[in-house]
């Protein structure tokens, strides 16, 4: 698919961003250039190559299911832009 301003605006929406109209063309141009460069990987034969997602082989580390005192509710809420002392408060959802 061609990366044009409409696609950029659509992707931005999916990523919960909005692009100023005068920025959309610039972003589209830069993104197109970057993704075209990424297409150089098509030159590499990867038939049968297992993807490498992490240098760590510890995929899933289990621990005992015990309660630990980690953080105080107040300390967490102090950083929230909106709260009522008990919960995070957000603008209306529906």
Partner 1 sequence: MNDKTDTLCATRDLILSGQIKVTEVVQSCLERIRKTEPVIQAFVNIQEVKALDLARKMDEQGPDKDKPLWGIPLTLKDNICTRDQRTTCGSKMLENFNPCYDATLVRKLREAGAIFLGKTNLDEFAEGSSTENSAHKKTRNPWDLNKVPGGSSGGSAASIAAGQSLGSVGTDTGGSIRQPASFCGVFGMKPTYGRVSRYGVVALASSMDQAGPIAANTADCAAILQVISGHDPLDSTSMDVPVPDYLSSLERRTDLKGLRVGLPAQYWEGKLDSEVERVCSKALEQISLAGAETVTLDMPHTPHAVAVYEIIAMAESSSNMARFDGVKYGYRDKEARELLDMYIKTRSRAFGEEVQRRIMIGSYVLSAGYYDAYFKKAAQVRRLIYQDFIQAFEYCDLICAPVSPFTAFRLGEMVDDPLQMYLLDIFTVSLNLAGMAGITVPAGLGDRTDMPVGIQLMGPAFSEELLLQTAHVLENYLPPLPSPRALNE
Q: Which residues bind partner 1 (CB under 8 A)?
A: 1, 3, 8, 11-19, 27, 30-31, 33-35, 37-38, 40-44, 46, 49-56, 58, 60-61, 63, 71-72, 75-76, 78-82, 88, 90-93
Query: Is residue 7 within 8 Å of residue 28, measured between CB atoms?
Result: yes
Query: Is residue 28 within 8 Å of residue 48, measured between CB atoms?
Result: no
CB of 86 to partner 1, least distance (A): 14
Which distant-in-sequence residues (6+ apart) come within 8 Å of 88 by Cβ? Answer: 77, 80, 82
CB of 84 to partner 1, least distance (A): 13
């Amino acid at each position: 698919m061609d990366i044009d301003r409409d696609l950029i605006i659509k992707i931005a929406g999916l990523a919960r961003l909005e692009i100023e109209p005068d920025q959309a063309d610039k972003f589209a141009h830069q993104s197109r250039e970057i993704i075209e460069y990424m297409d150089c990987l098509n030159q590499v034969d990867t038939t049968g190559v297992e993807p490498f997602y992490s240098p760590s082989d510890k995929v899933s580390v289990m621990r005992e299911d015990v309660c630990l005192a980690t953080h105080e509710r107040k300390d967490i809420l102090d950083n929230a832009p909106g709260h009522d002392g008990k919960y995070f408060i957000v603008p209306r959802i529906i």
